[in-house]
Structure 1
């Protein structure tokens, strides 16, 4: 896709990958609208020149207000990125984990669907545009410490496939960004030394987005082992390795 001069809304871009991509689209000449819940961070980004809008993807009213503001102020909106997501460790032996599971599905899966539903009529009306969903390598190679996170991202992947099929012929392209572990903070880099450096990840993502036609799945090199583990016969061994993190749960040996 041509990433130059895009009008891009990124839901969940006040930090981390979303914020880095906001900077990259802006550097390519785009108008970027940053959405998020944390008003203090939105204020800081507004001071840097970004358009900002408060949005809570678990609240339909909040999404509707954000959509109306964005389309009013940026009628040329042509790209929507559904970045919002959370990951919460869960002990599936303890039924109390369900609150975390509910919150995760509401944010990661239903939040993605709500945002897409809000902007799809606008994009269909334009006859062109791009929707970029964000899943995770964990959606293809589960990390057992984050079970519902993995399920939610697998769900977004399946939903993205169906969305692409249903929007065929409308002029809207649908791409799925599949990040591996990315070091978005110094703390996250210390916790996971193998995590991909944020700037390196974003550079690879933007290069892949520039490809014509846009790949259906935006797969940086660091996520290929996750995406193709079943095909490559490494799935069981890798899940077993990742299961070692369950020792961090209280009461586990």
Structure 2
């Protein structure tokens, strides 16, 4: 994709990967509109990036998605890039009772949020000469973390949905890309400073470089090993990764 001259709406853009992508595209001469739940954080990001716009949106709410996307279509007729980045990562315990409220909120945010936003904007995007839907999944879509089992499952679902979207839209002007980050040290859970995590700045730089020529997936070098481990022999890798996390737990804040 061309990295300048686009009109881009990105969800979950007040921190971490979302903010990093928003600022990277903004600095390259794109019109960027960021979405997020907290107005104070939206204001902080737009103050730091003059010319960037913001809208309040909770992607777990179908009503808000419908209202905000309708407004976006009216205010930004040239909108041609949707980046579905908003997500949450609560830990869960599949060996105990399900926290139903947490599970429903997770699925609404991480899976149905991107699906609903894509559906709300797809006809608008198809009218553009060149348009992109960029879904943010994760390498845990391929090799899951047992301590975040449902989160991993939602990311696997986003990968699957992206494959279907890409094929279904193959004869339109809309291309579907998927960014599958490795562990990046952001506040998705909390910034840990763990040496095993990739730092945000090099992740964003490498991702932007890959986006320029990507046709399907964007996986930085640090995520390639897990991405390529999916398949008939993935069981050993799943066991190894999850045992490593147990033996070397994340540092607590």
TM-score (norm 1): 0.90
Q: Write the distance in 2 (CA, Å) between the matches of 1:164 and 1:11.
A: 20
Q: Secondary structure of the residue that 2:177 maps to in structure 1? A: strand
Runs of 5+ consecutive residues of structure 1 not aligned to the other structure: none
> Which residue of 1 is the match for residue 240 of structure 2?
240
Counterparts of 1:16-165 in structure 2, within 5 Å, are 16-48=16-48, 49=50, 50-165=52-167
Runs of at least 5 residues in structure 2 that lack an aligned partner in the other structure = none
Output one character per residue of 1:192-237: Cα deviation in whole Å (capped at 9) or x when no partner: 32111100000000000111xx230001001111111135946514
- Report how far residue 99 of structure 1 moved: 2.8
Which stretch has the larger CA shift, 94-103 or 134-143? Answer: 94-103
Superposition deviation, residue 158 in structure 1 = 0.5
In the superposition, relative to structure 1, how do residues 20 and 165 fare at CA in structure 2: closer, same or farther (>3 Å)? same
Shift of 1:121: 0.9
Contact 1:141 1:226 survives alignment (8 Å):
yes
For residues 37-91 of structure 1, what are the alpha-carbon distances to aligned partners after superposition, in whole Å with 9 as ceiling and x for unaligned? 0111112223232200011111111112211222222111110000011111111
Instruction: Output the aligned Cα RMSD.
Output: 2.1
Q: What aligned pairs does 1:218-229 form with structure 2 within 5 A after superposition?
A: 218-229=218-229
Query: 3-state DSSP class of the match of 2:159?
Result: helix
CA spacing shift, 1:235–1:229, aligned 2, 3 Å: farther
Tell me the equivalent position of 1:184.
Answer: 186
**CA 1:232–1:201 in 2, change beyond 3 Å: closer, same or farther?**
farther
In the TM superposition, residue 184 of structure 1 has moved relative to its aligned partner by 2.0
Q: Which has the higher helix share?
A: 1
1:216 counterpart = 2:216: yes
- Residues 188, 45 of structure 1: alpha-carbon distance in 2 compared, 3 angstrom cutoff: closer
Using the TM superposition, give the Cα deviation of residue 125 of structure 1 relative to its aligned residue in structure 2, in angstroms. Answer: 2.1
